[in-house]
Amino acid sequence: MTNEPGFFAEPRNWVVLAFILFFVLFGKRLWGVLAGLLDARATAVKAEIEEATRLRREAESMLRDAEKQRASALADAKAMIEGAHAEAGRVTAAAATEAEASAKRREQMAIDRIAAAEKAAVDDVRLTAVEIATTAARQVLTEGLTGEADSGLIDHAITQLPAALAARGTARIGETAH
């Protein structure tokens, strides 16, 4: 016979047996602890995923709100720009109308001044003619003129008329300049 060592004589067999016995006695407890740790980790990961999902929904909601506010602000800005353009057009039209009205008023004032100057000139001519006629009449009455002398006196008065008018016009221009 051969001498074979027995099953219990081999140290490897004792290690395998101890290992199996260890897992049979402590395996349930170890498995419970390991499962608890894994379950806790799974629960923590699930909670983090739910928190991340909640934060993402909030961020998307905030993004939609920001986009709405941006669109509203853009619409308000466009409305303000259009209002400003309309107001600028209205102000430009009003300024043009006012400038035209002012020019017409100034033109009318100039026409009125010219008419007044013409009337004053006509009045001066009439006054000068009246003065000359009065002077001539006075001379005729005092001298008792004859027909020939009368004609000469009238001719002389007519020739003096432009000089008298010029003298009055110069005096009148001096008055209006002051």
The upper half-sphere exposure of residue 47, i.e. CA atoms within 13 Å in the direction of its Cβ, equals: 6
Domain count, the chain: 1
Residue 2 forms part of a structural domain: no
3-state percent helix, strand, coil for the chain, nearest multiple of 5 = 95, 0, 5
The residue written with tokens 């409305």 in the block is: 79
Whole-number Å distance between alpha carbons of 96 and 116: 30
Residue 160 forms part of a structural domain: yes
Residue 72 forms part of a structural domain: yes
Its domain, for residue 43, covers 7-177
Residue 102 forms part of a structural domain: yes
The tokens of 145 are what?
């003129």
Residue 129 forms part of a structural domain: yes
Residue 1 forms part of a structural domain: no
Whole-number Å distance between alpha carbons of 109 and 113: 6
Residue 115 forms part of a structural domain: yes
Whole-prediction pTM value?
A: 0.39
Specify burial of residue 140 (Cβ count, 10 A radius: 0-12, 13-18, 19+): middle
Q: What pLDDT score was predicted for residue 147?
A: 67
DSSP states of 121-141: HHHHHHHHHHHHHHHHHHHHH
Contact 128, 164 (CB under 8 A): yes
pLDDT in tens, the chain (178 residues): 456 667 778 889 889 999 888 888 887 888 888 899 999 999 999 999 999 999 999 999 999 999 999 999 999 999 999 999 999 999 999 999 999 999 999 999 999 999 999 999 888 888 888 888 888 777 767 776 566 766 777 788 888 888 877 777 776 666 665 5
Helix (H) / strand (E) containing 175: helix 147-177
